[in-house]
Amino acid sequence: MKGGILLTTGVPSKEQVESRTPPKSRRERGPFVVIECFQEIPCDPCHYSCKFGAIKQFESINDIPEVDWSKCTGCGVCVAACPGLAIFVVDETFSDTECLIAIPYEFAPLPGKGDAVRLLDRAGQEVGGGFVHRVLPGKKPQGTPVVWLRAPKELSMTVRNLEPVEKGGVSHG
């Protein structure tokens, strides 16, 4: 079955995720894009948003995006441009113990710099705690807000969402 677990649960398989993960040599050079777009749908703003040509030109508007790792700077412009919320930037070189993860975030209110957050995986399960490093509010008409998180380095390829921790540490929901 094409799509497999993704089509039944909305969560990509381990194999699908690994197929979109850059090689270790690229991960060690600084920020990199991770495009978790697995379905052939008519969509291509990621390609047009990349000023460096790192998201290869599509032969068909239904193509799945492919990254040229030698051109990607990890700038994150494509994160805000993706209407499917399927693009992230990861920086595993941020520190010895922490990474940065840029995620699209369409909920209000936006968290603020320094805010504590619960780190969530692709299925929405809590996998740890982190902090907001910075927030880019998103430019109209296409711009989705992008939240950059500080997270434990070992969660760099796991964290794909966040849940704000309410002041005082109590969460409702």
User: Residue 171 has what pLDDT?
Assistant: 44
The confidence score (pLDDT) of residue 4 equals: 52
Q: What's the pLDDT at 140?
A: 65
Residues 6+ apart with CB under 8 A from 168: none
Domain residue extents for the chain: 5-164
pLDDT at residue 1 in the model: 39
pLDDT computed for residue 108 by the predictor: 87
Q: Quote the tokens at residue 32.
A: 């990199």
Q: Is the pTM of this model over 0.75?
A: yes
Q: Give the dihedral of Cα atoms 101, 137, 66, 63; nearest 10 deg.
A: 140
10-residue averages of pLDDT along the chain (173 residues): 55 77 92 90 90 93 92 93 92 97 93 97 95 88 86 96 78 41
